[in-house]
Amino acid sequence: MWLILVLIVGALLAQRLNELFVLSICHGRVLVVRGRIPPALLEALADVAQSSGIEQATVRAVRGPWHARLVIRGVDDGTAQRLRNVFGIHPIHELRAAPQMSDWNLGQFLGWTWLAWFLLAARARRGSI
C-alpha cells in the first residue's frame, strides 16, 4: 500500500521536474499556474486563446532532450496547432531565462489551478486587478 503511494507521488514529482510552465485558460483568460514564461510568449498565447474563444484548457510546456514541446488539453486540433506555432517561434533559451513572477497567489504557489482561479476572481471582486 505505502509502496504504491510512494510510486505515485514519485511519478508526479518526476513529471513536474520536466515542466517549464503550466497555463490554465478559462473563457479566453490565461493564468500561469506554475513555472516561468517570457512575457512576450504569454501575451502571444493569450491572444490565441482569446481570439479562439477557448472555454477551458490546460497548456503545459515540457522539457525534452533536445527541445521543449507543448502538451495541450481541452482545445481542438486547429487551435492546438496555433498555440504550438506561437510557442515554436520562441527559443528554449528564452524560456530558461524568463523572469520569475512576483505576484503569485496561494493557488499558483501550490500549483492548484482551481484555487488559483478562485483567488484571482476574489481579488477581481475586491477591485485589486
Question: What is d(CA 123, CA 74) in angstroms, rounded to the nearest whole number?
Answer: 26
Is residue 113 predicted with pLDDT exceeding 90?
A: no
Q: Go through 22-50 and write b for each residue having 16 or more CB atoms within 10 A of its CB, e for each that does not.
A: bbbbbeeebbbbbbebbeebbebbbebbe
Per-residue pLDDT tens for 73-106?
A: 999 999 999 999 999 887 777 776 677 766 766 6
- Region 19-42 average pLDDT: 87
* Domain locations in the chain as residue ranges: 18-103
Yes or no: say if 59 and 74 are a contact pair by the CB < 8 Å rule: no
What three-state secondary structure class fits 19? strand
